[in-house]
Structure 1
Amino acid sequence: MKIWIDISNAPHVRFFKDVIKYLIDEGEDVIVTTRQFGDIHKLMDMYGIDYISVGKHGVSLKDKLRESTTRVTDLFDIIADEKIDVAVSKHSIELPRISFGLGIPSLYILDNEHAVAANKLTLPLCDRIIAPKIIDVWKLMEYGADPNKILPYNGTSELMHFKSFNYNDNIFDDLGLNLKKSKTIFMRPEPSLASYLDADCRKSVLSPIVEVLKEYANILVLPRFKEQSKIFEGIDNVTILDPPVDTSSIIKKADLVIGAGGTMNREAAILQTPVISCYPGTCLSVDKFYINQGLMYRSNNLDDIINKALSFIVNPHEPIDVNHDDLFKIVLNNIYDLGKNGKP
């Protein structure tokens, strides 16, 4: 069976890495495409994934349209004659359009119901859509998704990131970190280049939080791009991490995670590290999944965040049991079913 997987964002590398390995080990022919954006290439190399890089991420709306249009054409030239049995992606804009046009059965993994442009451009074209059960189906239908093609599951996509996770308790030493305080807070800035968030890439909502908490704990910041890195340069007791790094081990080792994004916050919740979300956009349903279970705290109020952070680093929450479906099995079963049986 020939399978095409398109990876368009850095977190999607961790989502698909074990799927790709399994399929290759089973003797399947897997074509992985990606684009130039953030740390995707570095992560692909770190996990030993062979890939074809096509196109790049656009910053302005005009750039996004131009780059996506060009990428559709370039991907078409690669895929059109490959006789693909099934195409798989997570929030890729281009794969559903190409697979629909070429009559290739497509599997789409979704976890952001507020990505309006992406969802409108993709959901009506997909043959099957795997989405967390907590996301309102009616919301997806507003974008044109066929409710009969939506496959809900209990959990979030970050569960896939830990299928083969091996915790490195010596991660701080291995990175040569000079940590002066007994407590450590890991921070991730907002995705200010994303189309679904109106933000200035030269500023961060984390800045005032860092200014206060640097007096109480070591601060580790993992920026998304160079401009974000500059925001936190030269601040005492703040270490800027250079990707790619073993973020999962860093999250588990840290005493607290404060994130203005989404993926690493949810990873922290899964790893049971106390986490505060200060994401400046509308709260996602997948975040509510962990908030409702007491595994994530959300606030955009500076005093509230500071007080909760100081409380967490002294008194972390007790372990909380979470029931979830086997997403890895769900993804693989649908890849094989679509690949062998074609469109529903």
Structure 2
Amino acid sequence: MKILIDINHPAHVHYFRNFTSLMEAKGHAVLFVSRDKEMAQRLLNLYQIPYINRGKGKDGKIGKFLYLLYADYKLLQIASSFKPDLFLNFLHPYPSQVAALLGKPSLVFSDTEHATLHHKLTVPFATKVFTPACYRTDLGDKQVRFRGYMELAYLHPRYFMPNPEILELLQVAAGEKYVIVRFVSWAAAHDFDHTGMSLDNKRKAVQALSKLARVFITSEGELPADLEQYRISIPFDKMHDAIYYSSLLFGESATMASEAAVLGTPSIFMDNDGRGYTDEEESRYGIVFNFSESEDDQQRAIHQAVHILEDESSQHKFKKVRDRIVSECIDTTEFMVEQVLRYNLSQETVPAEHYTNVSLTE
């Protein structure tokens, strides 16, 4: 079986890298095509995954539309040569559109409800769209819900073991608290009309947190000089180790908030739209604290972060939450393998009851 996986964001590498190892071990061929965005291709190189580069993409509505045409054409060329049996990706339109042109199945994963433009450009062409059970949006007959989170595709204990050597890299003393602060660029298609945390409140947050813990900032964009001094400086593939041992993750990234949650680290997440999965990680597990981008909520987020750091019992309490999340959710990578292999049986449908511990709605 030949599988084409298209990567549009660095996180997508993590979603599919363990799947690829398992499928290749079973004798299947996997080809990656990757947008040159942030660290995506550096991650592919790190995990020694060969790929074809499809360019950097464009910003702005017009630029993104023109890039859609280019990416479709590029993928069509690649697919004509590779001849995939199936296309697999996280929610973005290019592979599903090309798969439809070629009459091939397209399996799509998504956990981002407010990516409405990507929904409109992807779902009509996809064969199935897999979402966490807590997904707020009904995508119709093509939607398959599963009991879990995308982050468990790579942070499940089967695939991730935290390395305490990160503490030496960070020069953090034993027992010393530290916080990872994440600021995003808001340049993605689903981030139009978002402003995020004000610069003034970013400064207030760092000042308040630094009184209780070391602060390390990871930012997609430039930082003013007074905040630049806090920028984290570690190998890019060590971030999950840093999150695991941190006392708190504070910021604007839903993915990193959920990564922290499944690693047993409490997180503060600010976004006007929010996500179904961070909502559930708050309501069901109490390990994510969701806030909007309003001025009042930014202040409340800072206050909540201070409260967590002042609670000396919080770190032990939240690590127990990780065990509960893992016990109640599926291994997302194993689920991917099961779903893809359904299309290696002459397109025959395997009954839903064949899968254990999975909530399916088709």
Same fold, TM exceeding 0.5? yes
Does structure 2 conserve the Cα–Cα contact (< 8 Å) formed by 1:56 and 1:67?
Answer: no
Helix, strand or coil: the match of 1:49? Answer: coil
Indicate which of 308, 330, 336 corresponds to 1:331.
Answer: 336
Call closer, same or farther: CA 1:140–1:176 in 2, change over 3 Å. same
* Alignment partners' CA distance in 2, 1:247 and 1:286: 21
Q: Is the 8 A contact 2:154 2:160 kept in 1?
A: yes
1:219 paired residue among 207, 215, 218: 215
Pick closer, same or farther for the CA change 1:65–1:216 going to 2, 3 Å. same
Aligned match of 1:298 in 254, 273, 290? 290
| Equivalent residues of 2:197, 2:298 under 8 A apart | no
Distance 1:61 1:243, change over 3 A: farther
CA–CA distance in structure 2, aligned partners of residues 128 and 134 of structure 1: 17
Regions of 4+ moved over 6 Å: 178-181
- Please, which of 255, 262, 266 is the counterpart of residue 270 of structure 1? 262
The offset of 1:191, in angstroms, is 4.5
Q: CA 1:200–1:309 in 2, change beyond 3 Å: closer, same or farther?
A: closer
Contact 1:232 1:238 (C-alpha < 8 Å) held by counterparts: no
Kindly tell me: are residues 260 and 288 of structure 1, through their superposed partners in 2, closer, same or farther at Cα, counting changes over 3 Å? same
CA distance in 1, matches of 2:215, 2:235: 16
Query: Residue by residue, what CA displacement relative to the aligned partner does 1:253-288 show, whole Å, maximum 9, x if unpaired?
Result: 111111211111001111111111123x31111111
Partner of 2:184: 190
Which has the larger displacement, 205-214 or 282-291? 205-214
Which position in structure 2 is the counterpart of 1:54?
54
Deviation at residue 110 of structure 1 after TM alignment: 0.9
CA distance in 1, matches of 2:144, 2:172: 47
Q: Call closer, same or farther: CA 1:326–1:236 in 2, change over 3 Å.
A: closer
Please list, as runs of the form range in 1=range in 2, the aligned pairs for 1:49-198 lying within 5 A after superposition: 49-136=49-136, 139-141=137-139, 146-147=140-141, 149-163=142-156, 164-173=159-168, 175=169, 177=171, 182-197=176-191, 198=193
1:178 Cα deviation from its structure 2 partner: 6.8
SS at match of 1:131: strand
Closer/same/farther in 2, CA of residues 194 and 180 from structure 1, 3 Å limit: farther
- The alpha carbon displacement at 1:329 in A equals 2.1
Give the match's secondary structure for 1:297.
strand
What are the superposed Cα offsets for residues 294-315 of structure 1, whole Å, 9 maximum, x if unpaired? 1111224233222221221232
Q: Which amino acid aligns with 2:252?
A: A
Name the structure 2 match of 1:250. 242
Aligned partner of 2:276 in structure 1 is: 285
Per-residue CA deviation, residues 16-69 of structure 1 (Å, 9 max, x unaligned), is: 110111112222111111111111011111222111111222111111111121
Q: Is the 8 A contact 2:179 2:248 kept in 1?
A: yes
- CA drift of 1:242 comes to 5.7
Secondary structure, counterpart of 1:107 in structure 2: strand
Question: Counterparts of 2:34 and 2:28 in 1: how far apart (Å)?
Answer: 19
Q: Which runs of 5+ in 2 are unaligned?
A: 350-362
CA separation in 1, counterparts of 2:170 and 2:330?
Answer: 38
Structure 1 distance, partners of 2:185, 2:145, is 26
CA distance in 2, matches of 1:68, 1:165: 34
Deviations 1:179-202 (A, max 9, x none): 799321001113511111124599
- Greater Cα offset, 106-115 or 307-316: 307-316
- 1:194-209 alignment, distance < 5 Å: 194-197=188-191, 198-199=193-194, 206-209=202-205
Whether the 8 Å CA contact 2:279–2:290 is kept in 1: the answer is no
Q: Take 2:173 and 2:183, find their aligned partners in 1: how far apart are those partners?
A: 21
Tell me the residue number matched to 1:28: 28
> For 2:66 and 2:348, how far apart are their aligned partners in 1?
30
- Tell me the SS of whatever aligns to 1:298: strand
Query: What amino acid sits opposite 1:264 in the alignment?
Result: M
| CA positional deviation for 1:330 | 1.7
**Secondary structure at the counterpart of residue 73 of structure 1:** helix
Counterpart position of 2:39: 39
TM-score computed with the length of structure 2 as normaliser = 0.84
Alpha-carbon distance in structure 1 between the residues aligned to 2:125 and 2:27: 29
> Structure 1 or 2: larger helix share?
2
What CA RMSD, in Å, does the superposition of the two structures yield over aligned residues? 2.4
1:119 deviates by 0.7
